[in-house]
Structure 1
Amino acid sequence: MIDSISLELMLIGLFGVGSQWLAWRFRLPAIVVMSIVGLLAGPLLGIIDPEKSFGDLYHPIVSIAVAIILFEGSLNLDFKEVRGLGRPVFRIVTWGALVSWILGSLTAHYIAGLSWAVAFVIGGIFIVTGPTVILPLLRQSKLKPRPAKILKWEGIIVDPFGALLAVFAFEIIVFFTGDEKDLTALLFFFLASILAVLIGIISGKGIGWMFEAGYIPEFLKSPTVFIAVVACFTIAEEVADETGLLAVTAMGMVLANMDISSIKDMRHFKENISILLVSTIFVMLTASLSVDTLIDVFNLRIIGYVLLMLFLVRPLSIFLSTIGTDLSIREKILVGWIAPRGIVALTVASYFASILFEKGFEDAAIVTSLTFALVFFTVCAHGFTMSWLAKKLNLSAEGQPGTLLVGSNSFSVALANIFRELDIPTIITDSSWEKLLKARKAGVPFHYGEILSEQTEYRLDMTPYDYLISSAEFDSYNTLVCTTFIPTFGRNNVFQVDIDSSTGENVDNMVKTIGGRTLFSSEISLEELIYRVEGGCVFRKTTITDHYSYDQYLAGRDEHTVQLFVLKRSKQLEFFANDTEINVESGDIVVSLTPPSKEYNKIQAKLDSIRNN
């Protein structure tokens, strides 16, 4: 094992972020990769042992990290997003959680062999699906908006309540099994939970008020919120253990629903912090497991418990709790199958395992093994089957990567038409109904509204689109649109078309960190593209083959041809930009804007060939 704490910290970060990259590169569930890497680095190879190395700091580090992760998730709990989903979500997070707790506790007692006391404590913990797991899976799986929102809200809302339910069960057990039955301690915990919610609400309102009043400068907003989350969590925890998660969730929900313009900027910052924390903390937790814990995972009682939780407890709790709602049977099947457990379950279960064991419940010794088995098997089972099942149930929005076009004009409408011919999902959005006339006449899908409006997030489903092209009439507007959506689509997938300085608002010395990549060529302006389309230029699709190479295509093209994009054999799109060189291979389709004379000559040559034959 490594003796240097600095080196161990570096390796934890490297393993965590490296796992995320591997998961992205090979399209695997990130939690699965992190679990395997953590097990290899910890109990299997003995490279690191964070719990031993960090000592007393280990549990506070993990607890604060989980609080920040949960706060980041609760920042997405804008009530506008669940309009039309209120009843199913309410049922699932109340009656569904209750049914899951009771059935899970019964299964833990009769199948895993745990005492009633321990069974009801971990039964409460295991109602948690958790945003640390479900949100990354939703990003990768591309579900349709309705089931995706239900799973996201369930994961975030139930997350703190699972820990609280376990604490309530623990306090009741201590009360009934203790020599002195003191109602004061039980009443204190209930009051402390109410106080934790108040702390979260006051913290959220206070931070929101300071932001709106301008008492905090822009550069200090994210650090201020970061420290406020830690303070909110710590104060609640000092009052009563396990109430900190409830406090930070309340704080995040308050901020999310205050309509503060800075919240979106904080969401991006918190999301980046959350990804880093999820990566490192999950590696720390799995690396800290012992070999004995891993061996216990293969106990027949534990395996039987996991299987019943997967195939009986979860589906039954969803089906029973959603009776009378408008969820379809397909949505119930998908939601009833997807319930991966994550960091919160593993962290809280480890905490209670030690506390229960100290209280004399010897069967609590297998709780950590039981928890890890459930976490690992649910993450693997749901991570690898979520996309497949969604496609089978026709609840998947995944398909060929689509393109969102901002600004309606002759060129963007013609470009949208060529996308449709290639079966590429596309939509044009514009705030002018008059400018959308061309798109409406051409039968191109469109969205009428301001793309930068907050309401667009709720009215326009962006799931099918992986690329954004802004081709409005002002450079400054295109730059603002691209900068806004870089966190959503990624810098490499956001483009803008240059504007001719003589007619538009050309921004020559644009800072490189803002705006999108210049599409096609900086020498070709939007006005020139519109002029060519309206002048009769045509979109031409050229398939590169072994007998007709890309070099031959380049040699034979007209000098006025504008190369637009390449549709790869893998169905990915690669756009010709001023900072990109595309490797075009056999089987790829090159799409270009070609002068009509060139197209006419090709047609004439084909006709002459037919006549000669």
Structure 2
Amino acid sequence: MAIQSVGLDPVTAFGLVGVCGVGAQWLAWRLRLPAIVLMLAAGLLVGPATGIFDPARDIGALTGPLISLAVAVILFEGGLSLDLHRLGDARGGVKRLVLIGAPLGWLTSTLALVYAAGLSWEAAAVFGGIMIVTGPTVIAPLLRSARLARRPAQLLQWEAIVNDPIGALAAVLAFEVVLVLRAGHSAGAALADLAVGIGAATLIGIAAGYGIAYTFRRGRVPEFMKVPVLFVALLAAFAASDRLLHESGLLAVTVMGLVIANADLPSMTELRRFKEHATVLLVSGVFILLAAGLTTEQIAMLDWRAALFVVSVVLLARPLTVLVSLLGTKLPMKERLFIAFTGPRGVVLVAVAGLFGQRLAEAGIEDGARMGPLAFILVLSTVVLHGFTLAPLGRWLGLANKEKPGLLIVGGSRFTTQLAETLQKTEVPVLITDPNHAHLIRPRAAGIKTFYGDILGEAAEDSVELIAYGTLLAATDNDAYNTLVATDLAPELGRDAVWQIARAKDDRPRHTLPTQLGGRGFANGRTFETLKGLIGEGWRFRVTKLSEEYTVEDWKEKRPNAIPIMRIKPKGELRFVPSRDAVKGEPGARIVALLPPDAFEDPAPAGDTLGAGPVAELAVPKANLP
């Protein structure tokens, strides 16, 4: 109670929000749990549970505007992801989920709120509009962890992004109608104002998007100012639209992001990184603020009807909406069922529901106060449910990659072909890509999966399931291209998972690149030509499995001339080895190394038998040598 009476100053409050939000996301990454669950838990802990932080007390009137601006940036990030060139064969399904699914979802959600949660028709109509949204900030990390096939993943992600502003506008429409009916004003006049506001928001978003694209393409803005200019333009578009019609700014910023995403700007990489970083910070902050702002009275409103409401949404409203929307499409039934039973809600639902619930309560609709708690319990339930069932459901329906995370090799050569053959014998999925068709002849003859084309091109985005490969090796005969590939794909795969064959002149200070360029090195800095020469001399790969009896020290002692390339952890994680001294391994791990020809002629050392015993080794047959 003493803490509650004293409170926090605004600076300390903002620091606490940042630590709790980002800390919860980091902890979720470490524990491989849904981040939103830990963020909600952190907000409830510092808020209603302990009283350390109360947004209304410690931040005051700034809380609402901060949340609104954060949601605007999050929706802009969603619009910036809507590159129409990447939609592919999911286009028809997305249209149906938006044009048919949005109004149908509004209806089914409203019915669930009335008959299951017990809300009045007025509050249910407003809340039902918000429930159209399915949370792109929640869907994206779930899809990454589930490693789904491309089309169902695209359908879920695009539905979430496009329906976010539509849900907010549906809530605005219902809210305005409710106020008109209660005040006795003309419904026609209210609807006309709404149409003008929506049209103006769309035009503002288009103008802002084209303005940014024009100035960036013509070089009117220097590189170091592009992100600040973009951010200010985003806030200005949101404020201008919101001034005309409250919450229409969400539509304006989404349209603005959509226009910029399809403008084919050369600086899109920097813009995407900005929006990704901003989204992580803002999502963290919004969830902490909303969860900490809950009162014990609001939490006490969650009774058995709240549980019935969640069940009716997950098992009735969502499946019915999706199955009816996709009726008559060419999508396989297993994909329709998967999408029908996948509908996690996220930050926009909680933020907008809390905002409109408060305003309905101020307008005299008492059960408007229940919207915030119901939104929280729906978000928490769906995120936990889908967070732990999405991957198993995808595998059960045959829509998820059942294999271990594999290796993506950029560059076809004798070295990479033999490495791929060796890994395939250990059941590690491998894909070799190369823009030179001749370089893929050898891996194709060896039965290795290949992709002909530039891994950085649009064709690769449509044809390569990048999410199925957790590790990348850039190993072409072009050092500059290897560096480009490793640098471009490092943010998506993670820098720890991107490796590159050593550059020919990297040991010379004049040619050394900054650490932020390229991938990590392996094989003690051996270059493409060096490794190619070793293969030509008859060096071959061998996989050695470690055990309690045969440790990594035993392997080093008995294989003094071996060149360790990588190790495979017991759970299948791949890790290239920078040098011989860096070789590590626990029992069950496997070491992939290059051995000289005489190592296959001499008898295997004690405890180092071929194919049996404490260390099982697999060698590529000599017939497969070039």
TM-score range, shorter chain: over 0.9
Deviation at 1:274, TM superposition (A): 0.8
Find the counterpart in structure 2 of residue 447 from structure 1. Answer: 451
The answer to whether the 8 A contact 1:475-1:507 is kept is: no
Residues 120-269 of structure 1: pairs in structure 2 closer than 5 A = 120-181=125-186, 183-269=188-274
1:495 corresponds to: 499
Q: Name the aligned partner's letter for residue 163 of structure 1.
A: A
Judged with a 3 Å threshold, the aligned counterparts in structure 2 of structure 1 residues 604 and 109 are, in CA distance, closer, same or farther, namely closer
Residues 99-498 of structure 1 correspond to what in structure 2 (within 5 A)? 99-181=104-186, 183-297=188-302, 299-397=303-401, 399-498=403-502
Report if the CA contact (8 A) 1:67-1:244 is conserved. yes
Q: Check the 8 A contact 1:204/1:251 in 2, yes or no.
A: yes
Change (3 A) 1:221 1:458: farther
Give 1:517's aligned residue.
Answer: 520
How far residue 52 of structure 1 moved from its aligned partner, in angstroms, is 2.5
Residue of 94, 99, 104 corresponding to 2:99: 94
Call closer, same or farther: CA 1:607–1:402 in 2, change over 3 Å: closer
User: Equivalent residue of 2:369, what SS?
Assistant: helix
Distance in 1, matches of 2:606 and 2:146, equals 48
Q: Which amino acid aligns with 1:583?
A: K
Does 92-101 or 247-256 show the bigger shift?
92-101
**Residue 188 to residue 441, structure 1, CA distance change in 2 (3 Å):** same
Specify the alignment match of 2:15 in structure 1.
10
**448-457 vs 468-477, which moves further:** 448-457
1:509 maps to amino acid? T
Q: Contact 2:505–2:512 at 8 Å: present in 1 too?
A: no
The separation in 2 between residues aligned to 1:275 and 1:606, in whole angstroms, is: 51
User: Given the superposition, is the C-alpha separation of residues 292 and 578 from structure 1 closer, same or farther in structure 2, using an over 3 Å criterion?
Assistant: farther
Per mean C-alpha deviation after superposition, the further-off stretch among 574-583 and 183-192 is: 574-583
Encode CA deviations 1:36-80: one digit per residue, 9 max, x unaligned.
Answer: 121112111222122321111111111111111111121111112
Contact 1:476 1:505 in 2 (8 A): no
Report the CA distance shift for 1:225/1:454 in structure 2 as closer, same or farther (over 3 A): farther
Moved more, 197-206 or 168-177: 168-177
Give the Cα–Cα distance (whole angstroms) in 2 for the partners of residues 330 and 79 of structure 1: 25
Deviation string 1:357-404 (CA, Å, 9 cap, x unpaired) is: 122212212122222121111111122211121111111125312111
The whole-number CA distance in structure 2 between the counterparts of 1:29 and 1:182 is: 43
Aligned-partner Cα distance in 2 for 1:598–1:215? 63
Offset, 1:448:
0.8
Letter in 1 for 2:511: D
Instruction: Within 5 Å, give how 1:39-58 maps onto structure 2.
Output: 39-58=44-63
Deviation of 1:521 after TM superposition, in Å, equals 1.2
Per-residue CA deviations over 1:107-157 (Å, capped at 9, x if unaligned) read 212222222111111111111112122122222222111111000000000
**Following the alignment from structure 1 to structure 2, what is the Cα–Cα distance between the partners of residues 398 and 276?**
33
Residue 579 of structure 1: how far off its partner (Å): 11
Q: Deviations over 1:253-300 (max 9, x none)?
A: 111111112112211221121112112211221111111222222x12
| Paired residue type of 2:564 | Q
Superposed counterparts of 1:572-583, under 5 Å? 572-577=573-578, 581-583=582-584
Q: Distance in 2 between matches of 1:485 and 1:452?
A: 8
TM-score (norm 2): 0.93
CA contact (8 A) 1:175 1:183 kept: no
- Which 10-residue stretch deviates more, 179-188 or 361-370? 179-188
**One-letter code of the match for 2:315?**
F
Would the aligned equivalents of 1:43 and 1:290 in 2 still touch at CA under 8 Å?
yes
Aligned counterpart, 2:563: 562
Unaligned runs of 5+ in 2: 611-626
- Give the residue type in structure 2 aligned to 1:117: E
Cα separation, partners in 2 of 1:584 and 1:453, compared to 1, 3 Å? same
Structure 1 pair 240–579 and aligned structure 2 pair: CA distance change class (3 A) = farther
In 1, Cα distance between equivalents of 2:357 and 2:517: 50
- Any gaps of 5 or more consecutive residues in structure 1? none
Deviates more, 1:169-178 or 1:32-41: 169-178
Q: Which moved more, 1:1-10 or 1:74-83?
A: 1-10
1:3: how far off? 1.8
2:89 corresponds to which residue? 84
Contact 1:42 1:48 in 2 (8 A): yes
In the aligned structure 1, how far is the partner of 2:428 from the partner of 2:509?
A: 30
Is the partner of 1:326 in helix, strand or coil? Answer: coil
Dislocated runs of 4+, deviation >3 Å: 499-502, 504-508, 578-583, 603-609
Shift of 1:606: 11
Partner of 2:598: 597
Partners of 1:353 and 1:365 within 8 A in 2? yes
Q: Any conservation in 1 of the 2:433–2:455 contact (CA below 8 Å)?
A: yes
Alpha-carbon distance, 1:239 to partner: 1.2
Q: Match for 1:208: what amino acid? A: A
C-alpha spacing 1:91/1:584, structure 2 compared with 1 (3 Å): same
Offset at 1:228?
1.3
What amino acid is the match of 1:573? Answer: L
- More divergent stretch after superposition (149-158 vs 27-36): 27-36
Question: Residues 110 and 557 (structure 1 numbering): CA distance in 2 closer, same or farther, change over 3 Å?
Answer: same
CA drift of 1:337 comes to 1.1
Are residues 606 and 38 of structure 1, via their aligned partners in 2, closer, same or farther at CA, if it must alter by over 3 Å?
closer
Tell me which amino acid in the other structure corresponds to 1:295: A
Classify the secondary structure of the residue corresponding to 1:517. Answer: coil
Shift of 1:83: 2.0
For the residues of structure 1 that align with 2:580 and 2:531, how far apart are their CA atoms? 19
- The aligned counterpart of 2:548 is 546
> What is the alpha-carbon distance in structure 1 between the residues aligned to residue 325 and residue 458 of structure 2?
33
| Shift, 1:501, TM fit | 4.2
Q: 1:75 to 1:216 in 2, by over 3 A?
A: same
SS in 1 for 2:180: helix
State the one-letter code of the partner of 1:356.
L
Q: Secondary structure at the match of 2:60?
A: helix
CA separation of 1:579 and 1:91: change in aligned 2, threshold 3 A: farther
